[in-house]
Structure 1
């Protein structure tokens, strides 16, 4: 299989039938979606396993956060570089390299016997993920033309991306309770190795060809944006632990501001910048990334606080907490499957606003949890709504972030949307964690002189605050989405329109 698979309905020398071509495209899409699933899975698979990892490797309580943050920092900070590398060096080549690094580093994490070994391996795993995510998405966009085929492909992509987060919590609980915490990482290594072999066999070799000849590497841009984002995410993460006025936190914010300003300055002067600032005016890239950052801030927070509520308040074990994510994953996949259908019927922006609103309603419902509640009465109904809305919104935003972009910038746009989601998630988790901790401390202090508020009840007040603020963020995102396209009629195309129309005032690109 040496060439690009033909699109739906296309024939090759009169021999390739439509069902056969569709089957070939479907197999390639399954491989690429599996790569994205592995990335999303590894973001959350350690959440339930952290207490066991702490005991097994000898981590401190503060060190536990770095098992998650080292992966997230490397992933978020290097996504732009991964996207540009895919454009310049070849998407298939970058995808294969990322999968190899991801598999080897995940295996090393499972074999770690000291904290520094584990954190180093997780950092390398994040670097691999930063190559996988934009390369795989840009391949999906290249293989599926705009219209119905692209809408279906993005529906699959949204389903596996959202389900990966929920499945990570599920699989992490199952593996931790049955085989032990190292298998949380070994499973990621095995999965990446399988996807690597499938990519070699099924993804066409011709896709290795870059869109254009490699240009000079933007070293200044790479260095400033990577270190700037690391400083920003570190400051936001530390703020939840040390407070927003801690000198180290303020220093990190100051360094981030200087480095990111230098990045903008460098990009304006480099002949082939890492992030051409004009990409934000292509298609719907700018507004889509803004809303994706808000969605990411809620998404990461949900998968962090929900398992904590179930284990620390409701008393669930790792396996039970993991299994309880199945309804959320199923609802997410349903929402992703319905997203392109709904977009063709009511317009893509209305579908996006509906998805954000449904999530907001689910989080408002979840904000009514109680310390003596149960999964059936307090959690099940809300997470079904949240999963449905998440799948709907994610598909629309992913399509908007890469639609109307020049082919040579497809990998860059794919990396950018993942960067905004990761950075948005870091911002959101830091803010939500600080608010939840403050609410819990306040609830405890109010009754310190009396009988005292039970610890589970105080924790519940903190979690309720996090969910309530998350609902407000999604409500604002829904309003913002509508304001950004004010005066633009949603597209309706029964054959399958682009995931989102272009922003007002942005010239429509001919594809």
Structure 2
């Protein structure tokens, strides 16, 4: 039977989705009900089973989600990891900020929305600053500085989230750095060529959504395991560590040649490639 028409070609995406789903449910159940429960054990076992199925399918299927010749591509790996760390300093940080405003400061919906608007404005400002500065500075340098600024902001908020004079500058730094990092990450992805660009675009969205779900579940676990201020500090510390991991990833980006004008074209087989 043709591999393209075989039901087995859906094994990788199905097992990958089910693995992430059960991993998220495991983290949430541990947070609310504890680790030593039958449901936690069952969900963790199912997550492990689907992970093994995903690995086996990617190893032996003739048409895996990620072609084997691209798995050692450093630019592609950096693109995926960068997407994960950018998600940490955006979506996850927003969630933790809402919890901080509600639990520590007692803000309701309007107050939380106002904080979100402030953070969004800083992200937009960071993105615009990154676009302007990107004309003279490499995207790798921008990515490095964006993650460093976000890590500083998250680190400040981890020190004393109940102190407003610390939380406000931390929030502003986090939003501004996240905006720069998002812009630089998108520029880095657009500089990929050939199949690397195709698979970075094709699988990058799935990687970001999956990482966002897992991070939100992990933050929920931390908040439930350590109620109050301690859990919030642990959450900000985790996000700051992920932002620092983004700094390390940015340092791994190899030096690029002078940027050329490129366009994205679609070949006869439906795959995208870039032409200079």
Query: Partner of 1:432 in structure 2?
Result: 219
Is this contact kept in 1: 2:32–2:224, CA < 8 A?
A: no
Find the counterpart in structure 1 of residue 170 from structure 2: 382
Structure 1 322/340 Cα, relative in aligned 2: closer, same or farther at 3 Å? Answer: same
Q: Deviations over 1:318-360 (max 9, x none)?
A: 1121022222111111211222333342322111110000001
CA distance in 1 between partners of 2:35 and 2:143 (Å): 33
**Which residue of the partner structure matches residue 206 of structure 2?**
419
Alpha-carbon contact 1:357-1:475 (below 8 Å) kept: yes
Deviation at 1:390, TM superposition (A): 0.7
Q: TM-score, normalised by structure 2?
A: 0.79
Give the aligned partner of residue 272 of structure 1: 63
d(CA) in 1 for partners of 2:132, 2:86: 21
CA distance in 2, matches of 1:284, 1:417: 13
- Give the 5 Å matches for 1:459-474: 459-474=228-243
Question: SS at 1:315's partner residue?
Answer: coil
Matches within 5 A, 1:89-488: 215-216=4-5, 218-282=9-73, 284-371=75-162, 373-374=163-164, 377-401=165-189, 403-406=191-194, 410=198, 412-440=199-227, 459-482=228-251, 484-485=252-253, 488=254
1:345 alignment partner, SS class? coil
Aligned to 2:255: 489
Are residues 216 and 402 of structure 1, via their aligned partners in 2, closer, same or farther at CA, if it must alter by over 3 Å?
Answer: farther
Q: In the superposition, relative to structure 1, how do residues 257 and 344 fare at CA in structure 2: closer, same or farther (>3 Å)?
A: farther
Distance 2:258 2:135 in 1: 5
The whole-number CA distance in structure 2 between the counterparts of 1:388 and 1:469 is 19
Q: Secondary structure at the match of 2:222?
A: helix
Q: Is the 8 A contact 2:119 2:175 kept in 1?
A: yes
Total equivalences in the alignment: 262
- Asked if the contact 1:297/1:427 (under 8 Å) is kept, the reply is no
TM-score w.r.t. the length of structure 1 is 0.46
Question: What residue ranges of structure 1 are gaps of 5+ in the alignment?
Answer: 1-214, 441-458, 499-508
Kindly provide the CA deviation profile for residues 44-92 of structure 1, in whole angstroms up to 9, marking residues without a partner as x. Answer: xxxxxxxxxxxxxxxxxxxxxxxxxxxxxxxxxxxxxxxxxxxxxxxxx
In our comparison, the structure showing a higher alpha carbon Rg is 1
Asked if the contact 1:240/1:434 (under 8 Å) is kept, the reply is yes
Taking the aligned partners of 1:256 and 1:416, their CA distance within structure 2 comes to: 20
Distance 1:290 1:409 in 2: 15
Q: CA deviation at 1:370?
A: 4.9
CA deviation map 1:147-177 (0-9, x unaligned)? xxxxxxxxxxxxxxxxxxxxxxxxxxxxxxx
